[in-house]
Amino acid sequence: MSQQELETDKYELIQFVIDDNNTKKGKLEHEQDKISLRAGKDEEVKLLDSQITQVKLEILKNAEKLSNAIRFKEFLLGLDREFADAQEYERACATEMLKSQWINKTKNLAPHDPQYKIVFTDDEEIHGEVKLIINGPGIGEK
């Protein structure tokens, strides 16, 4: 082999080593890009899994609420209208009876009875010139 061939081979070997190093470096960078991309995808998958779990829990919670609402609706639809009317009538009769008993009791109060003063005395008479002001929801509102 001649000196020229040795120089050419040396140059080709150096060029091969440089190309090989560049190729390795490129592959290494490509692998690192793949790893970082994979890590990003893994984080995205974890986030989506977390969201899926939360949605499934909400679905289960709402499914239970729905089931309870359906049972209550069936219960309400199953109520006998005549029974409900009878209950309402009994309540109304009891209220009217209580009212009439109170009216009869207050009609028969004697002026010396302590309740007479409470029932038949104006607020101004009880409290002097100070007027009793009652506030609250539905009271005194127009």
At a CB cut-off of 8 Å and minimum separation 6, what does 115 contact?
A: 106, 109
pLDDT at 131 (0 to 100): 62
* Cα 93 from Cα 89, distance rounded (Å): 6
Residue 116 confidence class, pLDDT cut points 50, 70, 90: confident
Model pTM above 0.75:
no
Q: Does the pLDDT of residue 108 top 70, yes or no?
A: yes
Mean pLDDT, the chain, integer:
84
